[in-house]
A and B are shown apart, each in its own frame.
Chain A
Amino acid sequence: MILRPRRDDHAIVGKYLGKIIVGIGLLMVVPLVTSLLFAEWDTALDFVIGIGACFIFGFGLQVICRTEKDLKWSHGLVVASGSWIAATVLGAIPHWLSGHEGSYLDAMFDIMSGYTTTGLYLIQDLDHISYGLNMWRHVLTYVGGQGIVVIALTFLVKGTAGAYKLYVGEGKDERLLPNVIGTARAIWLVSLMWLAIGTAALAVTGLMLGQEPVRALLHGLWVFMGAWSTGGFAPQSYNTMWFHSAAYEIICTVIFIAGSFNFALHWAVWQGDRRELRRNIEILSFTATAFITVSVATFGLAHLGIYPDAVNLFRKAFYQVLSGHTTTGFSTIYSRAFVTQWGPVAMLATTVAMAIGASACSTGGGIKGIRIGVLTKAYIQDVRRMISPDSAVVQERYHHIRDIVLEDRIVRTAFTITLAYVTAYAVLTVLGVLFGYDFTAAAFEGVSAASNTGLSCGITAPDMPNLLKWAYIIAMWMGRLEFMSVLALFGHFYAIVRGKS
Protein backbone atom coordinates (compact mmCIF):
# COMPACT_ATOMS: atom_id res chain seq x y z
CA MET A 1 0.00 0.00 0.00
CA ILE A 2 1.29 3.45 -0.86
CA LEU A 3 0.65 6.11 1.75
CA ARG A 4 0.05 9.69 0.78
CA PRO A 5 2.76 11.90 2.35
CA ARG A 6 1.50 13.88 5.31
CA ARG A 7 2.17 17.43 6.30
CA ASP A 8 5.10 16.37 8.42
CA ASP A 9 6.74 14.58 5.52
CA HIS A 10 6.56 17.68 3.34
CA ALA A 11 7.92 19.76 6.19
CA ILE A 12 10.97 17.52 6.65
CA VAL A 13 11.72 17.50 2.92
CA GLY A 14 11.24 21.27 2.71
CA LYS A 15 13.43 22.00 5.70
CA TYR A 16 16.45 20.09 4.44
CA LEU A 17 15.93 21.27 0.87
CA GLY A 18 16.01 24.82 2.24
CA LYS A 19 19.25 24.21 4.09
CA ILE A 20 20.95 22.80 0.99
CA ILE A 21 19.83 25.73 -1.18
CA VAL A 22 21.19 28.18 1.39
CA GLY A 23 24.45 26.28 0.94
CA ILE A 24 24.30 26.95 -2.80
CA GLY A 25 23.78 30.63 -2.05
CA LEU A 26 26.82 30.68 0.21
CA LEU A 27 28.80 28.97 -2.52
CA MET A 28 28.08 31.87 -4.87
CA VAL A 29 30.10 34.09 -2.56
CA VAL A 30 33.28 32.61 -4.08
CA PRO A 31 32.60 33.85 -7.63
CA LEU A 32 31.15 37.08 -6.19
CA VAL A 33 34.44 37.81 -4.43
CA THR A 34 36.35 36.87 -7.59
CA SER A 35 34.41 39.30 -9.73
CA LEU A 36 34.80 42.04 -7.11
CA LEU A 37 38.57 41.43 -7.05
CA PHE A 38 38.75 41.88 -10.81
CA ALA A 39 36.33 44.83 -10.74
CA GLU A 40 33.73 43.07 -12.87
CA TRP A 41 30.79 45.02 -11.50
CA ASP A 42 28.10 43.74 -13.82
CA THR A 43 29.05 40.12 -13.13
CA ALA A 44 29.14 40.83 -9.39
CA LEU A 45 25.51 41.98 -9.58
CA ASP A 46 24.56 38.73 -11.31
CA PHE A 47 25.88 36.85 -8.30
CA VAL A 48 24.27 39.19 -5.78
CA ILE A 49 20.92 38.48 -7.43
CA GLY A 50 21.71 34.76 -7.47
CA ILE A 51 22.62 34.72 -3.78
CA GLY A 52 19.49 36.68 -2.92
CA ALA A 53 17.28 34.26 -4.84
CA CYS A 54 18.88 31.25 -3.13
CA PHE A 55 18.43 32.81 0.32
CA ILE A 56 14.81 33.77 -0.32
CA PHE A 57 14.05 30.23 -1.47
CA GLY A 58 16.16 28.50 1.19
CA PHE A 59 15.20 30.52 4.25
CA GLY A 60 11.66 30.84 2.95
CA LEU A 61 11.31 27.06 2.88
CA GLN A 62 12.70 26.86 6.40
CA VAL A 63 10.15 29.42 7.59
CA ILE A 64 7.29 27.44 6.08
CA CYS A 65 8.57 24.00 7.00
CA ARG A 66 9.09 23.97 10.76
CA THR A 67 9.64 20.50 12.18
CA GLU A 68 11.87 18.72 14.64
CA LYS A 69 11.45 15.24 13.18
CA ASP A 70 14.38 13.34 11.74
CA LEU A 71 14.74 12.09 8.19
CA LYS A 72 13.48 8.69 7.08
CA TRP A 73 14.89 6.82 4.09
CA SER A 74 12.34 8.07 1.60
CA HIS A 75 12.89 11.67 2.75
CA GLY A 76 16.64 11.42 2.30
CA LEU A 77 16.28 10.21 -1.26
CA VAL A 78 13.67 12.83 -2.16
CA VAL A 79 15.72 15.66 -0.61
CA ALA A 80 18.86 14.57 -2.43
CA SER A 81 17.28 14.38 -5.87
CA GLY A 82 15.04 17.40 -5.30
CA SER A 83 17.89 19.57 -4.13
CA TRP A 84 19.80 18.93 -7.35
CA ILE A 85 16.81 20.23 -9.32
CA ALA A 86 16.32 23.30 -7.15
CA ALA A 87 20.06 23.99 -7.13
CA THR A 88 20.07 23.81 -10.92
CA VAL A 89 17.14 26.17 -11.40
CA LEU A 90 18.56 28.74 -8.96
CA GLY A 91 22.21 28.24 -9.86
CA ALA A 92 21.43 29.11 -13.47
CA ILE A 93 20.57 32.72 -12.57
CA PRO A 94 24.11 34.18 -12.94
CA HIS A 95 24.63 32.28 -16.20
CA TRP A 96 21.36 33.59 -17.59
CA LEU A 97 22.01 37.17 -16.46
CA SER A 98 25.46 37.17 -18.06
CA GLY A 99 23.78 37.24 -21.47
CA HIS A 100 25.92 34.39 -22.76
CA GLU A 101 23.15 31.80 -22.78
CA GLY A 102 20.63 31.34 -25.55
CA SER A 103 17.77 30.55 -23.17
CA TYR A 104 17.12 29.72 -19.54
CA LEU A 105 17.07 26.08 -20.59
CA ASP A 106 20.61 26.45 -21.91
CA ALA A 107 21.68 28.02 -18.62
CA MET A 108 20.14 25.14 -16.66
CA PHE A 109 21.85 22.68 -18.99
CA ASP A 110 25.22 24.22 -18.13
CA ILE A 111 24.52 24.19 -14.41
CA MET A 112 23.26 20.61 -14.34
CA SER A 113 26.26 19.65 -16.43
CA GLY A 114 28.47 21.37 -13.86
CA TYR A 115 26.95 19.88 -10.70
CA THR A 116 26.84 16.40 -12.18
CA THR A 117 30.49 16.83 -13.28
CA THR A 118 29.51 16.18 -16.87
CA GLY A 119 31.21 19.01 -18.72
CA LEU A 120 29.02 19.48 -21.79
CA TYR A 121 28.30 23.16 -22.22
CA LEU A 122 26.05 25.51 -24.18
CA ILE A 123 27.50 28.81 -22.95
CA GLN A 124 28.27 30.95 -25.95
CA ASP A 125 31.51 32.83 -26.41
CA LEU A 126 33.21 31.12 -23.50
CA ASP A 127 36.47 32.81 -24.50
CA HIS A 128 35.06 36.22 -23.56
CA ILE A 129 33.36 35.49 -20.23
CA SER A 130 34.32 37.16 -16.98
CA TYR A 131 36.62 35.65 -14.35
CA GLY A 132 33.70 35.62 -11.92
CA LEU A 133 31.49 33.54 -14.19
CA ASN A 134 34.35 31.18 -15.02
CA MET A 135 34.97 30.77 -11.29
CA TRP A 136 31.31 29.88 -10.78
CA ARG A 137 31.39 27.27 -13.54
CA HIS A 138 34.38 25.57 -11.96
CA VAL A 139 33.35 25.93 -8.33
CA LEU A 140 30.03 24.30 -9.02
CA THR A 141 31.68 21.41 -10.80
CA TYR A 142 34.18 21.01 -7.94
CA VAL A 143 31.43 21.01 -5.35
CA GLY A 144 29.22 18.81 -7.49
CA GLY A 145 32.05 16.28 -7.54
CA GLN A 146 32.06 16.01 -3.78
CA GLY A 147 28.26 16.23 -3.77
CA ILE A 148 25.96 19.13 -2.98
CA VAL A 149 24.63 17.24 0.00
CA VAL A 150 28.12 16.51 1.27
CA ILE A 151 28.88 20.22 1.45
CA ALA A 152 25.63 20.84 3.29
CA LEU A 153 26.43 18.02 5.69
CA THR A 154 29.84 19.51 6.35
CA PHE A 155 28.73 22.99 7.23
CA LEU A 156 25.01 23.35 7.68
CA VAL A 157 23.25 20.26 8.94
CA LYS A 158 23.71 19.14 12.52
CA GLY A 159 24.69 15.51 12.86
CA THR A 160 21.57 13.44 13.11
CA ALA A 161 20.99 9.80 12.31
CA GLY A 162 18.94 10.95 9.33
CA ALA A 163 21.88 12.80 7.81
CA TYR A 164 23.28 9.50 6.58
CA LYS A 165 20.14 9.02 4.48
CA LEU A 166 20.76 12.32 2.71
CA TYR A 167 24.29 11.23 1.97
CA VAL A 168 23.21 7.89 0.51
CA GLY A 169 20.58 9.62 -1.57
CA GLU A 170 23.35 11.32 -3.48
CA GLY A 171 24.73 8.04 -4.77
CA LYS A 172 27.44 7.66 -2.16
CA ASP A 173 27.30 4.79 0.31
CA GLU A 174 30.74 4.45 1.84
CA ARG A 175 31.26 5.29 5.47
CA LEU A 176 34.85 6.41 5.72
CA LEU A 177 34.28 7.08 9.39
CA PRO A 178 31.50 5.79 11.64
CA ASN A 179 29.88 9.21 11.71
CA VAL A 180 28.44 10.61 8.49
CA ILE A 181 29.49 14.19 9.25
CA GLY A 182 32.99 12.89 9.86
CA THR A 183 32.79 11.07 6.54
CA ALA A 184 31.77 14.26 4.75
CA ARG A 185 34.68 16.10 6.37
CA ALA A 186 37.08 13.32 5.41
CA ILE A 187 35.93 13.64 1.79
CA TRP A 188 36.63 17.36 1.96
CA LEU A 189 40.01 16.81 3.55
CA VAL A 190 41.07 14.53 0.68
CA SER A 191 39.69 16.94 -1.91
CA LEU A 192 41.25 20.06 -0.42
CA MET A 193 44.64 18.41 0.03
CA TRP A 194 44.60 17.45 -3.63
CA LEU A 195 43.35 20.94 -4.51
CA ALA A 196 46.38 22.55 -2.91
CA ILE A 197 48.94 20.21 -4.47
CA GLY A 198 47.22 19.90 -7.86
CA THR A 199 46.64 23.62 -8.30
CA ALA A 200 50.23 24.38 -7.35
CA ALA A 201 51.55 21.81 -9.83
CA LEU A 202 49.36 23.10 -12.67
CA ALA A 203 50.04 26.77 -11.91
CA VAL A 204 53.80 26.29 -11.86
CA THR A 205 53.62 24.32 -15.11
CA GLY A 206 51.44 27.06 -16.61
CA LEU A 207 54.02 29.67 -15.63
CA MET A 208 56.75 27.68 -17.32
CA LEU A 209 54.55 27.32 -20.39
CA GLY A 210 54.48 31.08 -20.78
CA GLN A 211 51.36 32.16 -18.93
CA GLU A 212 51.23 35.30 -16.80
CA PRO A 213 51.20 34.61 -13.05
CA VAL A 214 47.54 35.52 -12.43
CA ARG A 215 46.30 33.61 -15.45
CA ALA A 216 48.55 30.65 -14.63
CA LEU A 217 47.12 30.48 -11.12
CA LEU A 218 43.49 30.84 -12.21
CA HIS A 219 43.90 28.36 -15.05
CA GLY A 220 45.68 25.98 -12.68
CA LEU A 221 42.85 26.22 -10.16
CA TRP A 222 40.11 25.84 -12.75
CA VAL A 223 41.72 23.02 -14.66
CA PHE A 224 42.34 21.28 -11.34
CA MET A 225 38.68 21.65 -10.41
CA GLY A 226 37.62 20.34 -13.80
CA ALA A 227 40.01 17.41 -13.54
CA TRP A 228 39.59 16.38 -9.90
CA SER A 229 35.82 16.45 -10.03
CA THR A 230 36.05 14.55 -13.33
CA GLY A 231 34.00 17.47 -14.59
CA GLY A 232 35.66 18.48 -17.80
CA PHE A 233 35.00 22.20 -17.74
CA ALA A 234 38.02 24.26 -18.77
CA PRO A 235 38.44 28.04 -18.86
CA GLN A 236 38.86 28.27 -22.64
CA SER A 237 36.84 26.82 -25.48
CA TYR A 238 39.96 24.92 -26.58
CA ASN A 239 39.69 22.85 -23.40
CA THR A 240 43.10 21.44 -22.40
CA MET A 241 44.44 21.68 -25.94
CA TRP A 242 45.00 25.33 -24.96
CA PHE A 243 48.23 24.43 -23.18
CA HIS A 244 49.92 22.34 -25.92
CA SER A 245 52.03 20.56 -23.35
CA ALA A 246 52.74 16.93 -22.50
CA ALA A 247 53.61 17.89 -18.92
CA TYR A 248 50.26 19.61 -18.42
CA GLU A 249 48.47 16.60 -19.90
CA ILE A 250 50.25 14.15 -17.59
CA ILE A 251 49.45 16.24 -14.50
CA CYS A 252 45.81 16.47 -15.62
CA THR A 253 45.74 12.70 -16.15
CA VAL A 254 47.09 12.04 -12.66
CA ILE A 255 44.50 14.37 -11.15
CA PHE A 256 41.50 13.05 -13.02
CA ILE A 257 42.41 9.43 -12.42
CA ALA A 258 42.86 10.17 -8.72
CA GLY A 259 39.51 11.95 -8.82
CA SER A 260 37.90 8.88 -10.31
CA PHE A 261 39.01 6.72 -7.34
CA ASN A 262 36.60 5.76 -4.59
CA PHE A 263 36.90 8.08 -1.60
CA ALA A 264 37.02 4.98 0.61
CA LEU A 265 40.09 3.87 -1.35
CA HIS A 266 41.73 7.27 -0.90
CA TRP A 267 40.95 7.14 2.78
CA ALA A 268 42.36 3.61 3.17
CA VAL A 269 45.58 4.59 1.42
CA TRP A 270 45.78 7.77 3.46
CA GLN A 271 45.45 5.72 6.61
CA GLY A 272 48.55 3.84 5.55
CA ASP A 273 46.98 0.78 3.92
CA ARG A 274 49.03 0.95 0.74
CA ARG A 275 48.24 -2.57 -0.40
CA GLU A 276 44.69 -1.43 -1.05
CA LEU A 277 45.95 0.31 -4.17
CA ARG A 278 46.98 -3.05 -5.63
CA ARG A 279 44.17 -5.24 -4.38
CA ASN A 280 41.02 -3.14 -4.62
CA ILE A 281 38.52 -4.61 -7.04
CA GLU A 282 37.81 -1.21 -8.58
CA ILE A 283 41.50 -0.61 -9.31
CA LEU A 284 41.77 -4.03 -10.93
CA SER A 285 38.59 -3.49 -12.91
CA PHE A 286 39.63 0.01 -13.98
CA THR A 287 43.12 -1.11 -14.99
CA ALA A 288 41.73 -3.96 -17.07
CA THR A 289 39.01 -2.00 -18.86
CA ALA A 290 41.23 1.05 -19.33
CA PHE A 291 43.94 -1.12 -20.86
CA ILE A 292 41.49 -2.80 -23.23
CA THR A 293 39.74 0.38 -24.39
CA VAL A 294 42.99 2.33 -24.82
CA SER A 295 44.42 -0.58 -26.83
CA VAL A 296 41.38 -0.79 -29.10
CA ALA A 297 41.42 2.96 -29.72
CA THR A 298 45.16 2.92 -30.32
CA PHE A 299 44.93 0.12 -32.86
CA GLY A 300 42.00 1.80 -34.57
CA LEU A 301 43.91 5.07 -34.83
CA ALA A 302 47.12 3.34 -35.93
CA HIS A 303 45.15 1.67 -38.69
CA LEU A 304 43.84 5.03 -39.90
CA GLY A 305 47.36 6.43 -39.71
CA ILE A 306 46.32 9.88 -38.52
CA TYR A 307 49.11 10.32 -36.03
CA PRO A 308 52.66 10.36 -37.37
CA ASP A 309 54.48 8.43 -34.62
CA ALA A 310 54.00 6.33 -31.52
CA VAL A 311 54.47 9.13 -28.99
CA ASN A 312 51.82 11.33 -30.61
CA LEU A 313 49.50 8.36 -31.01
CA PHE A 314 49.96 7.51 -27.33
CA ARG A 315 49.39 11.08 -26.19
CA LYS A 316 46.12 11.45 -28.07
CA ALA A 317 44.66 7.98 -27.49
CA PHE A 318 45.68 7.67 -23.84
CA TYR A 319 44.49 11.14 -22.88
CA GLN A 320 41.16 11.08 -24.69
CA VAL A 321 40.18 7.53 -23.76
CA LEU A 322 41.21 7.85 -20.11
CA SER A 323 39.48 11.20 -19.90
CA GLY A 324 36.40 9.32 -21.11
CA HIS A 325 36.94 6.32 -18.83
CA THR A 326 37.26 8.48 -15.72
CA THR A 327 34.20 10.39 -17.04
CA THR A 328 36.16 13.63 -17.03
CA GLY A 329 35.68 14.91 -20.55
CA PHE A 330 38.91 16.84 -21.06
CA SER A 331 40.11 16.66 -24.61
CA THR A 332 43.12 17.75 -26.61
CA ILE A 333 41.35 17.34 -29.92
CA TYR A 334 38.41 19.24 -31.37
CA SER A 335 34.96 17.84 -30.62
CA ARG A 336 34.24 17.32 -34.29
CA ALA A 337 37.64 15.67 -34.74
CA PHE A 338 36.18 12.58 -33.08
CA VAL A 339 34.08 12.21 -36.20
CA THR A 340 36.34 13.73 -38.85
CA GLN A 341 39.64 12.22 -37.63
CA TRP A 342 39.13 9.43 -35.12
CA GLY A 343 36.47 7.44 -36.92
CA PRO A 344 34.11 4.72 -35.62
CA VAL A 345 36.57 2.27 -34.00
CA ALA A 346 38.23 4.78 -31.71
CA MET A 347 34.89 6.49 -31.05
CA LEU A 348 33.26 3.23 -30.01
CA ALA A 349 36.22 2.36 -27.77
CA THR A 350 35.84 5.76 -26.10
CA THR A 351 32.08 5.25 -25.83
CA VAL A 352 32.57 1.91 -24.06
CA ALA A 353 35.13 3.51 -21.73
CA MET A 354 32.66 6.29 -20.89
CA ALA A 355 29.85 3.79 -20.34
CA ILE A 356 31.92 1.86 -17.78
CA GLY A 357 33.08 5.01 -16.06
CA ALA A 358 34.83 5.68 -12.78
CA SER A 359 34.69 4.17 -9.29
CA ALA A 360 31.69 4.19 -6.97
CA CYS A 361 31.64 6.89 -4.28
CA SER A 362 33.99 9.01 -6.34
CA THR A 363 33.44 12.24 -8.22
CA GLY A 364 32.85 10.31 -11.43
CA GLY A 365 29.89 8.74 -13.19
CA GLY A 366 29.06 5.78 -15.39
CA ILE A 367 28.25 2.19 -14.46
CA LYS A 368 31.26 2.17 -12.07
CA GLY A 369 34.18 -0.19 -11.69
CA ILE A 370 32.82 -2.05 -8.70
CA ARG A 371 29.72 -3.19 -10.59
CA ILE A 372 31.78 -4.34 -13.56
CA GLY A 373 34.02 -6.20 -11.10
CA VAL A 374 31.13 -7.78 -9.21
CA LEU A 375 29.35 -8.86 -12.38
CA THR A 376 32.56 -10.36 -13.78
CA LYS A 377 33.02 -12.29 -10.53
CA ALA A 378 29.42 -13.47 -10.74
CA TYR A 379 30.01 -14.89 -14.22
CA ILE A 380 33.20 -16.58 -13.03
CA GLN A 381 31.30 -18.08 -10.12
CA ASP A 382 28.59 -19.44 -12.41
CA VAL A 383 31.13 -21.01 -14.73
CA ARG A 384 32.96 -22.52 -11.77
CA ARG A 385 29.68 -23.97 -10.49
CA MET A 386 29.01 -25.55 -13.85
CA ILE A 387 32.33 -27.37 -13.99
CA SER A 388 32.42 -28.35 -10.29
CA PRO A 389 30.82 -31.50 -8.86
CA ASP A 390 27.27 -30.98 -7.64
CA SER A 391 28.20 -31.29 -4.00
CA ALA A 392 30.91 -28.61 -4.12
CA VAL A 393 30.29 -25.22 -2.56
CA VAL A 394 31.63 -22.54 -4.88
CA GLN A 395 32.49 -19.32 -3.15
CA GLU A 396 33.79 -16.18 -4.82
CA ARG A 397 35.34 -13.23 -3.00
CA TYR A 398 36.44 -9.76 -3.90
CA HIS A 399 38.46 -7.13 -2.12
CA HIS A 400 37.09 -3.68 -1.47
CA ILE A 401 38.60 -2.21 1.68
CA ARG A 402 38.02 -5.68 3.18
CA ASP A 403 37.41 -9.12 1.72
CA ILE A 404 33.77 -9.59 0.80
CA VAL A 405 32.05 -12.85 -0.08
CA LEU A 406 30.03 -12.52 -3.27
CA GLU A 407 26.36 -12.96 -2.45
CA ASP A 408 23.35 -12.95 -4.74
CA ARG A 409 22.09 -9.84 -2.97
CA ILE A 410 25.20 -7.89 -4.00
CA VAL A 411 25.03 -9.18 -7.56
CA ARG A 412 21.38 -8.25 -7.80
CA THR A 413 21.98 -4.63 -6.77
CA ALA A 414 24.95 -4.33 -9.13
CA PHE A 415 22.88 -5.79 -11.92
CA THR A 416 19.80 -3.57 -11.51
CA ILE A 417 21.86 -0.38 -11.50
CA THR A 418 23.94 -1.55 -14.45
CA LEU A 419 20.77 -2.31 -16.35
CA ALA A 420 19.40 1.14 -15.52
CA TYR A 421 22.52 2.75 -16.97
CA VAL A 422 22.42 0.60 -20.09
CA THR A 423 18.76 1.50 -20.56
CA ALA A 424 19.53 5.21 -20.22
CA TYR A 425 22.37 4.91 -22.74
CA ALA A 426 20.09 3.10 -25.16
CA VAL A 427 17.21 5.58 -24.81
CA LEU A 428 19.51 8.56 -25.43
CA THR A 429 21.12 6.86 -28.40
CA VAL A 430 17.75 6.07 -29.97
CA LEU A 431 16.59 9.63 -29.30
CA GLY A 432 19.70 11.03 -30.97
CA VAL A 433 19.20 8.80 -34.01
CA LEU A 434 15.53 9.83 -34.18
CA PHE A 435 16.68 13.43 -34.40
CA GLY A 436 18.72 12.55 -37.43
CA TYR A 437 22.21 12.20 -36.02
CA ASP A 438 24.57 9.46 -37.07
CA PHE A 439 24.38 6.33 -34.87
CA THR A 440 27.99 6.44 -33.66
CA ALA A 441 27.70 10.13 -32.86
CA ALA A 442 24.34 9.72 -31.10
CA ALA A 443 25.70 6.84 -28.99
CA PHE A 444 28.87 8.76 -28.16
CA GLU A 445 27.04 11.90 -27.07
CA GLY A 446 24.24 10.05 -25.29
CA VAL A 447 26.59 7.86 -23.28
CA SER A 448 28.70 10.93 -22.57
CA ALA A 449 25.70 12.71 -21.04
CA ALA A 450 24.28 9.79 -19.04
CA SER A 451 27.69 8.74 -17.71
CA ASN A 452 28.51 12.36 -16.76
CA THR A 453 31.58 12.41 -18.96
CA GLY A 454 31.22 15.46 -21.18
CA LEU A 455 33.27 14.51 -24.21
CA SER A 456 31.40 15.85 -27.19
CA CYS A 457 31.52 14.96 -30.85
CA GLY A 458 29.67 18.11 -31.82
CA ILE A 459 26.01 17.31 -31.15
CA THR A 460 25.84 19.47 -28.03
CA ALA A 461 25.46 22.99 -29.38
CA PRO A 462 23.05 25.85 -28.69
CA ASP A 463 21.03 25.00 -31.80
CA MET A 464 20.44 21.36 -30.89
CA PRO A 465 16.76 20.39 -30.47
CA ASN A 466 15.25 21.47 -27.15
CA LEU A 467 13.84 18.03 -26.49
CA LEU A 468 17.35 16.58 -26.69
CA LYS A 469 18.60 19.24 -24.26
CA TRP A 470 15.88 18.18 -21.81
CA ALA A 471 16.72 14.52 -22.32
CA TYR A 472 20.41 15.17 -21.62
CA ILE A 473 19.63 17.24 -18.52
CA ILE A 474 17.47 14.47 -17.10
CA ALA A 475 20.00 11.81 -18.04
CA MET A 476 22.85 13.71 -16.38
CA TRP A 477 20.77 14.08 -13.22
CA MET A 478 19.65 10.45 -13.10
CA GLY A 479 23.09 9.12 -13.97
CA ARG A 480 24.80 11.16 -11.29
CA LEU A 481 22.38 10.12 -8.55
CA GLU A 482 22.46 6.51 -9.75
CA PHE A 483 18.74 6.40 -10.53
CA MET A 484 17.44 5.25 -7.15
CA SER A 485 16.81 8.62 -5.53
CA VAL A 486 15.37 10.02 -8.75
CA LEU A 487 12.98 7.09 -8.89
CA ALA A 488 12.17 7.77 -5.23
CA LEU A 489 11.29 11.34 -6.17
CA PHE A 490 8.96 10.11 -8.91
CA GLY A 491 7.48 7.70 -6.36
CA HIS A 492 6.97 10.62 -3.98
CA PHE A 493 4.96 12.52 -6.58
CA TYR A 494 3.00 9.38 -7.41
CA ALA A 495 2.20 8.97 -3.73
CA ILE A 496 0.99 12.56 -3.50
CA VAL A 497 -1.42 11.95 -6.37
CA ARG A 498 -2.50 8.38 -5.86
CA GLY A 499 -1.49 7.40 -2.31
CA LYS A 500 -3.96 6.35 0.38
CA SER A 501 -4.38 8.96 3.04
Chain B
Amino acid sequence: MTEQTALTRTNGHTANDVMTTMPAVQPNVDIFENEQELIVDCDLPGVAQDTLSVHLDGTQLTLEGERAAYEGWSVAARYRRTFTVPEHLIDADGVEAELRGGVLRVRLPKRDDARPRKITVRSVD
Protein backbone atom coordinates (compact mmCIF):
# COMPACT_ATOMS: atom_id res chain seq x y z
CA MET B 1 0.00 0.00 0.00
CA THR B 2 1.29 3.41 -0.86
CA GLU B 3 0.48 6.71 0.74
CA GLN B 4 -1.48 7.85 -2.32
CA THR B 5 -4.09 5.19 -1.89
CA ALA B 6 -4.33 6.08 1.75
CA LEU B 7 -5.13 9.68 0.93
CA THR B 8 -8.29 8.99 -1.00
CA ARG B 9 -9.33 5.96 0.91
CA THR B 10 -12.57 5.98 2.81
CA ASN B 11 -12.67 3.92 5.93
CA GLY B 12 -15.76 2.17 7.09
CA HIS B 13 -15.71 2.95 10.77
CA THR B 14 -16.66 6.64 10.74
CA ALA B 15 -19.95 8.00 9.55
CA ASN B 16 -18.76 11.41 8.42
CA ASP B 17 -17.95 11.31 4.70
CA VAL B 18 -16.28 14.69 4.68
CA MET B 19 -13.88 13.46 7.30
CA THR B 20 -12.97 10.22 5.67
CA THR B 21 -12.34 11.68 2.24
CA MET B 22 -10.35 14.57 3.62
CA PRO B 23 -6.61 14.38 2.90
CA ALA B 24 -4.78 13.10 5.91
CA VAL B 25 -2.04 15.03 7.64
CA GLN B 26 1.02 12.97 8.46
CA PRO B 27 1.77 13.48 12.12
CA ASN B 28 5.38 13.56 13.28
CA VAL B 29 6.68 10.57 15.20
CA ASP B 30 9.61 9.55 17.36
CA ILE B 31 10.48 5.88 17.49
CA PHE B 32 12.49 4.30 20.30
CA GLU B 33 13.64 0.75 20.70
CA ASN B 34 15.17 -1.52 23.27
CA GLU B 35 15.47 -5.28 23.41
CA GLN B 36 11.96 -5.76 24.77
CA GLU B 37 9.87 -3.34 22.76
CA LEU B 38 9.39 -0.47 20.36
CA ILE B 39 7.84 2.83 21.38
CA VAL B 40 6.17 5.12 18.86
CA ASP B 41 5.38 8.66 20.06
CA CYS B 42 3.10 10.61 17.77
CA ASP B 43 1.98 14.27 17.88
CA LEU B 44 -1.81 14.42 17.61
CA PRO B 45 -2.87 17.82 18.91
CA GLY B 46 -6.59 18.23 19.46
CA VAL B 47 -7.38 14.56 19.01
CA ALA B 48 -9.65 13.13 21.67
CA GLN B 49 -9.52 9.47 22.61
CA ASP B 50 -12.82 8.56 21.00
CA THR B 51 -11.69 9.48 17.48
CA LEU B 52 -8.35 7.76 17.82
CA SER B 53 -7.52 4.41 16.31
CA VAL B 54 -4.40 2.30 16.60
CA HIS B 55 -4.53 -0.66 14.30
CA LEU B 56 -2.09 -3.49 13.73
CA ASP B 57 -3.08 -5.64 10.80
CA GLY B 58 -0.48 -8.23 9.96
CA THR B 59 2.57 -6.12 9.23
CA GLN B 60 0.72 -2.79 8.89
CA LEU B 61 0.61 -0.48 11.88
CA THR B 62 -1.81 2.41 11.32
CA LEU B 63 -2.25 5.39 13.61
CA GLU B 64 -5.28 7.49 12.86
CA GLY B 65 -7.12 10.30 14.58
CA GLU B 66 -9.49 13.14 13.92
CA ARG B 67 -9.51 16.60 15.35
CA ALA B 68 -12.73 18.58 15.42
CA ALA B 69 -12.78 22.09 13.97
CA TYR B 70 -11.70 24.76 16.40
CA GLU B 71 -14.52 26.97 17.47
CA GLY B 72 -15.57 29.22 14.65
CA TRP B 73 -12.62 28.92 12.35
CA SER B 74 -10.33 26.10 11.42
CA VAL B 75 -11.47 23.08 9.47
CA ALA B 76 -11.28 19.69 11.05
CA ALA B 77 -8.20 17.59 10.45
CA ARG B 78 -7.54 13.93 9.92
CA TYR B 79 -4.21 12.48 10.92
CA ARG B 80 -3.00 9.24 9.50
CA ARG B 81 0.25 7.39 9.34
CA THR B 82 1.13 3.84 8.42
CA PHE B 83 4.23 1.83 9.17
CA THR B 84 5.32 -1.58 8.07
CA VAL B 85 6.42 -3.86 10.84
CA PRO B 86 8.43 -6.98 9.99
CA GLU B 87 6.55 -10.17 10.30
CA HIS B 88 7.00 -12.14 13.51
CA LEU B 89 8.59 -9.25 15.40
CA ILE B 90 5.70 -7.80 17.41
CA ASP B 91 3.48 -9.50 19.95
CA ALA B 92 0.19 -8.09 18.63
CA ASP B 93 -1.77 -8.98 21.76
CA GLY B 94 0.57 -6.98 23.95
CA VAL B 95 0.34 -3.68 22.07
CA GLU B 96 -0.65 -0.77 24.33
CA ALA B 97 -1.49 2.82 23.54
CA GLU B 98 -2.02 5.90 25.68
CA LEU B 99 -2.89 9.48 24.81
CA ARG B 100 -1.56 12.32 26.91
CA GLY B 101 -1.54 16.02 26.14
CA GLY B 102 -1.98 15.52 22.42
CA VAL B 103 0.77 12.92 22.19
CA LEU B 104 -0.02 9.28 21.50
CA ARG B 105 2.41 6.68 22.80
CA VAL B 106 2.17 3.17 21.37
CA ARG B 107 4.17 0.37 22.96
CA LEU B 108 4.86 -2.61 20.75
CA PRO B 109 6.38 -5.48 22.71
CA LYS B 110 8.63 -7.82 20.74
CA ARG B 111 7.75 -11.45 20.59
CA ASP B 112 9.81 -13.64 22.85
CA ASP B 113 11.49 -15.40 19.96
CA ALA B 114 12.38 -12.08 18.31
CA ARG B 115 14.29 -10.73 21.28
CA PRO B 116 18.04 -10.94 21.20
CA ARG B 117 19.38 -13.69 23.36
CA LYS B 118 22.57 -14.11 25.21
CA ILE B 119 24.16 -17.44 24.46
CA THR B 120 26.16 -18.95 27.23
CA VAL B 121 29.30 -20.68 26.04
CA ARG B 122 30.02 -23.82 27.90
CA SER B 123 33.58 -24.82 28.27
CA VAL B 124 34.25 -28.38 27.25
CA ASP B 125 37.37 -29.86 28.62
Q: Do A and B originate from a single complex?
A: no
